[in-house]
Every structure is written in structure tokens, then in C-alpha cells.
């Protein structure tokens, strides 16, 4: 009697297992290997699209930061200013004319996914609108050394930059080219150290090559 009960239970268990397997097979969705790969590809593309969207949102948040965060007092700029570069040779400011036409100094932060930087702009104008000098300085920390080197070389090659020696900088170039109206000359100093790039653009009566020591580290 016990043997019959055990056999009955065994047969019942076998039949239940077979029926359960059949029910699973009825609800199973079969996919070919080609269809599986197609679904995997779409999943990967969806993840890439999501990552790209997140990167765009991050870049937009950096680009559209408030002006309060971007601009700061030129006196707090961490690099050499025009008065430090040419302390004794600056042309005198005009004695007449609106102040905003004669003096224009501002400093700001910039950057994004590829670099972070601070910049200084110092301009002096005569009453007739002609500039006495223009001094632009950019300090950038670029994400990749190869990108920083490529940027400096591209700028130097575009304006026939000549190698110069500036203490503390492994690479330095001085570029010169005429202004658009041909009445003056642009002078640009490019400094490179791994990922750090300094760019100084000057237009005025003085020679930037005579002040290279000011930019030494």
C-alpha cells in the first residue's frame, strides 16, 4: 500500500512538472539570434542617446551660468595686468571724453566640458574712438595635454609664431601680424605647460618681447 502511494505521488509530481513546463512553453516568446542582436543594438543606442542628452544638459548648465558667477573684479585677476607688463611706458589717458569711452576693463570666467579659464580684457580709447592699446589675456586649463598642445601649435602656425624663452614654461611662442587696417600690429604670446595655456594678445605702442620676464613662473 505504501509503495502504491509513493508511485502515485511520483507519477503525480512528474505530470505536474510536465504540465508546468508546457504552460511555460505556451507563454514563451522565441527570438532568433538576429532579432536578439537587433534589440541589443537598440538598447545600446538608447543608452548612448541618454548619455549624450545628459552631456548636453551639463554643458548648457555651464554655458548659461549667471553673469554674477562669470564676471569678477579685474583687480582680482590672477595673471599679469597691463600695468604690470608695461608699468612705465603706458600712454597717458585722455583728459576729456566720457569715461566709458576711455577705459574699459573687465574679467570673467569661462569654460565647459573641454576647458576652464579666466580672462582679462583691458582697453584704452581716445576720444575719437581710436584705441591706444588693447590687452587681452586668457588663462586656460584644458582637459587633455594633446588638445592643449594642438591649440597652441595651431595658433602659432596661423601667425608664424617664433619660439621664445620664458622661464618656467616648456613651450612659448611670440606671434606678430598686422591689424585689419594695417595701421598697427597684433602681438600674441602663447605659453604652454602640459594642460595649462596662457594666451596674451596685445596691440599698442610697446614691444611685448621686452616684457617676457613678467610672465615667468
Contacts of 67-73 spanning 24+ positions with Cβ under 8 A: 69/109, 70/108, 70/109, 70/110, 71/106, 71/107, 71/108, 71/109, 72/107, 72/108, 72/109, 73/107
- DSSP-derived letter for residue 151 is H
- Residues 26, 100 within the same domain: no
Region 24-43: mean pLDDT is 61
Range of 61-70, 105-114, 152-161, 177-186 with top mean pLDDT: 152-161
- Residues 161, 177 within the same domain: yes
- Residues 31, 83 within the same domain: no
Percent of the chain residues past pLDDT 70, beyond the cut: 61
Name the domain count of the chain: 2
- Residues 97, 134 within the same domain: yes
Give residue 68's pLDDT.
Answer: 42
Indicate which CATH number applies to the domain containing 204: 3.40.1000
Give residue 65's pLDDT.
Answer: 46
Closest to 207 measured CA to CA, from 183, 178, 177, 187: 187
pLDDT of residue 120 exceeding 60, the answer is yes
Give residue 64's pLDDT.
Answer: 46
pLDDT of residue 94 exceeding 80, the answer is no
pLDDT of residue 192 exceeding 90, the answer is yes
Last residue of a domain, one of 45, 63, 81: 63
- Residues 133, 153 within the same domain: yes
Last residue of a domain, one of 63, 94, 112: 63
> How far apart, in whole angstroms, are the C-alpha atoms of residue 200 and residue 125?
19
Range of lowest pLDDT (22-31, 53-62, 120-129, 201-210): 22-31
Range of 8-12, 32-36, 165-169 with top mean pLDDT: 165-169
- Its pTM stands at 0.66
pLDDT band for position 50 (50/70/90)?
low
- Residues 202, 148 within the same domain: yes
Last residue of a domain, one of 23, 41, 63: 63
- Residues 151, 207 within the same domain: yes
Which carries the bigger pLDDT value, residue 88 or residue 175?
Answer: 175
pLDDT band for position 26 (50/70/90)?
low
Under a CB-based contact definition with an 8 Å cutoff, are residues 93 and 103 in contact?
A: yes
- Residues 33, 135 within the same domain: no
- Residues 74, 15 within the same domain: no
Domain range spanning residue 8? 2-63
- DSSP-derived letter for residue 168 is T
- Residues 135, 156 within the same domain: yes
Amino acid at each position: 500500500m505504501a509503495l502504491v502511494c509513493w508511485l502515485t505521488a511520483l507519477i503525480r509530481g512528474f505530470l505536474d512538472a510536465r504540465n508546468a513546463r508546457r504552460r511555460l512553453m505556451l507563454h514563451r516568446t522565441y527570438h532568433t539570434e538576429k532579432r536578439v542582436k537587433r534589440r541589443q543594438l537598440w538598447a545600446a543606442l538608447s543608452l548612448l542617446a541618454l548619455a549624450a542628452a545628459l552631456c548636453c544638459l551639463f554643458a548648457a548648465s555651464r554655458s548659461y551660468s549667471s553673469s554674477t558667477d562669470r564676471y569678477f573684479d579685474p583687480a582680482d585677476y590672477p595673471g599679469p595686468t597691463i600695468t604690470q607688463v608695461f608699468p612705465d611706458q603706458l600712454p597717458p589717458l585722455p583728459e576729456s571724453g566720457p569715461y566709458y569711452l576711455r577705459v574699459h576693463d573687465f574679467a570673467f570666467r569661462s569654460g565647459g566640458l573641454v576647458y576652464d579659464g579666466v580672462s582679462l580684457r583691458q582697453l584704452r580709447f581716445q576720444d575719437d574712438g581710436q584705441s591706444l592699446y588693447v590687452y587681452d589675456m586668457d588663462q586656460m586649463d584644458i582637459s587633455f595635454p594633446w588638445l592643449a598642445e594642438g591649440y597652441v601649435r595651431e595658433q602659432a602656425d596661423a601667425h608664424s609664431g617664433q619660439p621664445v624663452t620664458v622661464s618656467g614654461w616648456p613651450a612659448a611662442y611670440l606671434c606678430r601680424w598686422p591689424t585689419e587696417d594695417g595701421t598697427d600690429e597684433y602681438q600674441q604670446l602663447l605659453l604652454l605647460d602640459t594642460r595649462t595655456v596662457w594666451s596674451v594678445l596685445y596691440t599698442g605702442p610697446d614691444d611685448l618681447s621686452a616684457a617676457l620676464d613678467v610672465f615667468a613662473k
